[in-house]
Amino acid sequence: MDKPMTATAATEAMTVTELTARIKTLLERTFSHVRVSGEVSRLTRHRSGHVYFTIKDEHAAISAVIWRSTALRLHQLPRDGECFIFTGDINVYEPRGSYQLIVRDIEPLGAGRLAAEFERRKREFAARGWFDATRKQTIPTLPTHIGIVTSPSAAALEDVKKVLATRPGWLRLTLAPAIVQGDAAPESVEHALKRLIKVRPDVILLVRGGGSLEDLWCFNDERIVKAIVDCPIPIITGIGHEIDLTLADLAADARAATPSNAAELACPAKDTLRRQLPPPERLAHALQRQLRHDRLKLTRHAQALEQWFVRLMDRRRMALADMAQSLHRLQAKRLREKRRTLISLERHLQRLEPARRLQHRHHRLMQAVFTLHDAMEASIQHRRRQLLTGNERLQLAARQILSRKAQLLRRPSQQLLRHTQPCIRSVRQWQIANQALRSLGSAIVDVRRQSLTTLREQLYALGPMQVLARGYALCMDEQGAIIRSVSQLERGQLMRTRFHDGHAESRIESLEQNG
C-alpha cells in the first residue's frame, strides 16, 4: 500500500502543465531554425489547407506540419516516399505533450548540395578566366559546316534538324554522338568535341533537351567546361530550357535558350539572307569598288615587297661581304699556321736527310778513326819505350854479370864452372824475355792493324757510293749543287742524276709538290 504524500513533497512537485511549459521553452529556444533531411510518410492534406506528415529515416521519425500560409508560397509540396530537406522550428503541442517540426521551407534532397557545389565551381572556374568575355570567339555569320554534339536518340537533335532544314542548301551537318546524361556523359562529350575538332566545322552546337537539375548536372563537370574552353572552334550551347543554366553555358562562346534557338543562332534563315542581299547594281558597284581597293592594296603590297626585297638583298650582300672578309682572314691565318708547320717539318726532314746523315756519320767516323790512330800511336810509343827500357836494363844486367863473372875466372875452374852456369842461365832468360817482348809488340801491332782495317771497312760501307748502290740517287742542277726540294726546280730545267755506277741528265716537264 502506497504511503500518503507529505506536504513537503507536494510543494516540490511540478504540475504537468509546468513541466510541459518548461520543456516547450527549452526545445523551442534550443531548436530554432533547424534543417532536417528525411523521407515523407503518412502525408495528410487537411481541408483547411494545412499539410501534416511524418519525417523519418532508418532509425527515427518526427511529426511535421506545413501551415496553409506557408504551403501557398512554396514552389513544391512534399510527396509520400520522396526525400526532402525541411527548414523550420521545433514546436511543442502542450495538450498532447508531443513535439513537431513547423516547416517554413522545403527543397528536394540534393538540390541544396548541388546548388552549393554549382556556386563553388562557378567561382572556381571564373577565377581561372574560363567565363571571361575576352576569350570568347566570334560566331561566324554564314557558316557552311556545322558540327552537332548530342545524343542520336534525343528530341533535341530533331529540333535542330528541323530548324537547319530552313537554312541554305549548301549547309553541311556532322553529328558527333555523345551521352548527355549520367556519370559517363562528361567523358563522352569531351571525346565528341575532340572528334569534331579534327573535322574542323565552322561552328559546333552542344544541345540537350530539358530536365531536372540532376539530369543536367553533367554539363557542370570540369571536363566538359575545360573542353569547351580549349576548343579552337566557336561553340553554341542549347541545354535545357531558358530557365536552366549550366557552367557549360557560361563557358560557351554563345548560349541559346533551347536547342532550336541554338540552331537559329548558328545560321540565318534563307528569307533573312534574301532580305539582306542588296540589289545587283549595288553589288556590282561594291564589287568594282572592292576590286579597285584590292588593286591599290595589291600595288602597295607589291611596292612594299619590292622595297623589302631590296633591303633584304642589301643585308645579304653586306653579310656575304663580311663573311668573305672573315673567310679571307681565317684562310690567311690557316695558311700562316700551315707555313710554320711546313717550315718546322722541313727543318726536321733536313736533319733526317740521308746525305746530311751520311755526312754527319762520316764526320763522326773520321773523328773516331783519328782518335783511334792517336791512341794506337800513343800505345805503340809507350810499348816501344817499355821495350827499349827493358832491353837497356837487360844489357846493363848482362854487362854487370859478365864483369863479375870475368873476375871469377881467376878462381879455380870448379868455382868458375859453378859461377858460369847461372850466368849462362841469365843470358838465356834475357834472350827469352827479349823474344817475348818482340812477340807481344808484334801482336799489339797486328791487333791495332786489324781494328783499323775493320773501321776502314765500316767507313767504306757508310760512304755515299755504297748508299747509292742500295738504290738511292743524288740529284744536282747544272752547277753541281744538290737539289733537296721540288721548289728548287722549274719546268724545262736540266737536272743531273748521279747513280753508283754513273750519271744521267734529264729535263723537267712537270712538277707536283705534296701537301
Listed residues 80, 109, 138: the one ending a domain = 109
Is 80 exceeded by the pLDDT of residue 321? Answer: yes
% of the chain residues with pLDDT over 90: 25
Position 512 in a domain: no
Q: Has residue 514 been placed in a domain?
A: no
Strand order in the sheet with 254-255: 172-177, 145-150, 203-208, 235-239, 254-255
On whether both 440 and 478 belong to a single domain, the answer is no
Q: Are residues 189 and 54 part of one domain?
A: no
pLDDT at 462 over 70: no
Q: Is the confidence at residue 354, as pLDDT, over 90?
A: no
Percentage of the chain beyond pLDDT 70 is 86
Confidence of residue 107 (pLDDT cuts 50, 70, 90): confident
What pLDDT is recorded for position 8? 44
Confidence of residue 492 (pLDDT cuts 50, 70, 90): confident
CA-to-CA distance for 288 and 283, rounded, in angstroms? 9
Total domain count, the chain? 4
Please work out, in degrees rounded to the nearest 5, the angle formed at the alpha carbon of residue 82 by the alpha carbons of 44 and 50.
Answer: 25
Q: Read off the pLDDT of each residue in 358-370 and give the average, rounded to a whole number.
A: 74
Q: Is residue 92 part of a domain?
A: yes
Q: How confident is the model at residue 136 (pLDDT cuts 50, 70, 90)?
A: very high
**Burial level of 63, CB count in 10 A (0-12/13-18/19+)?**
middle
Q: Are residues 157 and 266 in the same domain?
A: yes
307: Cβ contacts below 8 Å, ≥ 6 apart: none
pLDDT of residue 434: 64
pLDDT band at 202 (very low <50, low <70, confident <90, very high): very high
> The pTM is what?
0.41
Does any domain span residue 342? Answer: no
Mean pLDDT of all residues in the chain? 82
Domain containing residue 83: 15-109
Band of the pLDDT at 236, cuts 50, 70, 90? very high
> Per mean pLDDT, which range of 14-18, 259-263, 406-410 is the poorest?
406-410
Q: Is residue 127 domain-shared with residue 251, that is, in the same domain?
A: yes
Residue 302 is assigned to a structural domain of this protein: no
DSSP letter at 1?
A: -
15-29, 78-92, 341-355, 404-418: range with lowest mean pLDDT: 404-418
| pLDDT confidence tier of residue 406, bands split at 50, 70 and 90 | low
> Distance between CA 205 and CA 175 in Å, rounded?
10
Query: For residue 75, what pLDDT band results from cuts at 50, 70 and 90?
Result: confident
In a domain? residue 116: no
Q: What is the pLDDT of residue 460?
A: 67
Grid cell for residue 45: 492534406
Q: Which H or E run includes 36?
A: strand 34-45
How high is the pLDDT of residue 175?
A: 93
Question: In this structure, are 453 and 488 located in the same domain?
Answer: no
What CATH number corresponds to the domain at position 35?
A: 2.40.50.140
Mean pLDDT, residues 419-437 taken together:
62
Both 442 and 484 in one domain: the answer is no
Query: Rounded to the nearest 10 degrees, what angle do helices 259-266 and 155-164 cross at?
Result: 30
Q: Please, which residues have CB within 8 angstroms of residue 486's CB and are 6 or more apart in sequence?
A: 511, 512, 513
**Do 262 and 370 have their domain in common?**
no
Average pLDDT value for residue range 352-358: 71
On whether both 461 and 496 belong to a single domain, the answer is no
Question: Given a cut of 50, is residue 171 above it in pLDDT?
Answer: yes
Q: 51-55, 211-215, 379-383: lowest mean pLDDT where?
A: 211-215
Within this chain, do residues 236 and 154 fall inside the same structural domain, yes or no? yes
φ, ψ at 510 (rounded to 5°): -145, 150
pLDDT band at 1 (very low <50, low <70, confident <90, very high): very low
pLDDT at residue number 501: 83
Position 247 scores a pLDDT of 93
Whether 61 and 86 map to the same domain: the answer is: yes
Mind listing the pLDDT tens digit for each residue in 270-319?
777 777 666 777 778 878 888 998 899 999 999 889 888 888 888 888 88
Residue 317, in any domain of the structure: no
Whether residue 237 contacts residue 206, with contact meaning beta carbons closer than 8 Å, is answered with yes
Q: What is the mean pLDDT of residues 193-217?
A: 88
Q: What is the CATH number of the domain that holds 143?
A: 3.40.50.261
Based on the domain organization, do 89 and 181 belong to the same domain? Answer: no
On whether residue 344 sits in a domain, the answer given is no
* 419/409 Cα distance (integer angstroms): 9
Decide which of 56, 77, 109 is a domain's last residue.
109
Are 89 and 190 members of one domain?
no
The pLDDT of residue 461 is above 60? yes
Which whole number is the average pLDDT over 389-415?
69
Question: Could you say which of 238, 260, 276 is where a domain stops?
Answer: 276
- pLDDT reported for residue 168: 82
Q: Can you tell me the mean pLDDT for 96-105? A: 90
pLDDT at 174: 92
